[in-house]
Amino acid sequence: MTSITLINPADETMIGEVDLNSVDEVDAAVAKAVVAQRLWAALAPSERAGALRAFAAAVDLDIEHLARLEVENSGHPIASARWEAGHVRDVLTYYSAAPERLLGSQIPVAGGLDITFHEPIGVVGIIVPWNFPMTIAAWGFAPALAAGNAVILKPAEWTPLTALRLGELARRSGLPEGLFTVLPGRGDVVGTRFVTHPDIRKVVFTGSTAVGKKVMAGCAEQVKRVTLELGGKSANIVFADADLELAATSAPGAVFDNSGQDCCARSRILVERSVFTRFLEKFEVAVGRFRVGDPLHDATQMGPLVSAAHFDRVGSFLDGVDVAFTGAAPSGPGYWMPPTVVLPKSLDDRIVREEVFGPVVAVIPFDTEEDAIRIANATEYGLAGSIFTQNLSRGIRVSRAVQAGNLSVNSHSSVRYSTPFGGVKQSGLGRELGPDAPFAFTETKNVFYAT
Ligand code: NAD
């Protein structure tokens, strides 16, 4: 077993070492999970519901601890990290109702009785990225467990601490041994083994589109079930008839929250040409007010980037571009980058086409509604987006025409545990969250009983 040294991205101090698991350790965890899953699925639904409520209660008591771990490990502002830990509790609570609500159906047929059952898939492997280590893990493990599966979770190399803590809380709250195992490790070792192991029957992958394609191709070998939550290049469309103050003051949070390391970041702002200059003036004021700094400060809205390597990658997008203005940022140590607003020269610029995953936004003028829709859809991605207009008909028309899984009109809302989330085109496959998520962790069995 090798290990990895974890660095606090806000000040570059060392915060600890974490062991990285090997293929043999994955195999041992899967063997235990297979046994645990059979026992778990055989429990009464009310008992599984109770166990998930106990897990949620353990998370609730640990919110401050989880939040501080996330601040130290990932650089998230403390207020966001507290929200994330609370969201994990809420996701668990929401899906604790699912074991008793996985309703099958009785279908009218001739000559007998026809019934569908939703049976667990078995062992589910969940691979998560470093940007929201707790919440994205919970979107997978809570409905998977609720549907009667066992889960093995691989956090990203650099950000394993909150996932490990959630594993500990699961054990302490009484979830059966082997049912929920957290295995830090390299993507090309532990992640790849999730894909190739014959007893892992479904993989939930959240991460880059490039790796997602490899995971999907690998899963095809065994016709393994797969859910993919991938990259994004979402548009925030501001029409001239919008409440410009609302559009401009809400736009920084929509792209710079979590330092832009957000798959739903509205990293392209499309503004109708007649209000382009007025929007930019208001946006500059709002960006100047966006509070970047000490992640442990309650009022901080944006912390550092996650790592030195990612800092360099984001910086590479700024070579040769026209920066209109920036916000403020500490000078270091730490991986600090200010909120940065760019006016691209062409729609073919790299900054317009590729996911930056950092605090950089491209602002682009458009002339007509058709123009706005065409530019919004001129991307291989389709995860999220926002539309600002006071014309209800236009809001409906444009929200139906933009190719994305999650849109909001006159807001930037993307994620609620009770509504479905996921991408179209190369942003992903399948949906997480919402009432149907547990069904994605089941196989539908149809049985005809001749009478
Ligand atoms: P990444 O693809 O590099 O890594 C994601 C995870 O996959 C990590 O745990 C990594 O160790 C693992 N991995 C790497 N290679 C692997 C392989 N060959 N087989 C199996 N697993 C492997 O992504 P990242 O840099 O950690 O995260 C950023 C990306 O995640 C961005 O593109 C972002 O848009 C995306 N993301 C998407 C969503 C969504 O819900 N759609 C949410 C958050 C992040």
Q: How confident is the model at residue 408 (pLDDT cuts 50, 70, 90)?
A: very high
Quote the CA–CA distance of 169 and 147 in Å, as a whole number: 20
Summarised one tens digit per residue, pLDDT across range 80-112 is: 999 999 999 999 999 999 999 999 999 999 999
CA of 187 to the centre of ligand 1 (A): 9
Give the three-state DSSP class for 165: helix
Contacts 24+ apart (CB under 8 A), 370-373: 372/237, 372/239, 372/270, 372/272, 372/398, 373/398, 373/401, 373/402
Output the pTM of the full model: 0.97
Do 338 and 328 touch, CB atoms closer than 8 A? yes
Distance from residue 210's CA to the centre of ligand 1 (Å): 9
CA distance 123 to 39: 12
Q: Hey, which of 261, 262, 263 would you mutate to test ligand 1's pocket, going by the most ligand atoms within 8 Å of its Cβ? A: 263
Q: Does the fold of domain 235-416 match that of domain 3-230+426-450?
A: no
Q: What is the CATH number of domain 235-416?
A: 3.40.309.10
Instruction: Using the atom order of ligand 1, give the atom closest to the CA of residue 229.
Output: 41
Please, what CATH class does the domain formed by 3-230+426-450 belong to? alpha beta
Q: Is the pLDDT of residue 440 over 90?
A: yes
DSSP string, 174-191: TPPTTSEEE----IIIII
The SS3 assignment for 93 reads helix
Name the residue at shortest CA distance from atom 20 of ligand 1.
Answer: 191
CA neighbor of 383 nearest in space, from 443, 321, 430, 332 = 430
229 in active site: yes
1 pLDDT tier (thresholds 50, 70, 90): low
Contacts of 287 (CB under 8 A, 6+ apart): 252, 256, 325, 326, 327, 339, 341
Domain ranges of the chain: 3-230+426-450, 235-416
Each residue's pLDDT tens digit, 208-234: 999 999 999 999 999 999 999 999 999
Tokens 């691989």 -> residue: 154
Q: 206: CA distance to ligand 1 center in Å?
A: 5
Ligand 1, closest atom to CA 211? 2
* DSSP-assigned letters across all residues of 35-71: HHHHHHHHS-HHHHHHHHHHHHHHHHHTHHHHHHHHH
CA gap 419, 433 in Å, rounded: 6
pLDDT band at 332 (very low <50, low <70, confident <90, very high): confident
19: left (phi over 0), alpha (psi -120 to 50) or beta: beta
Q: Mind listing the pLDDT tens digit for each residue in 243-279?
A: 999 999 999 999 999 999 999 999 999 999 999 999 9
Mean pLDDT of 288-303: 98
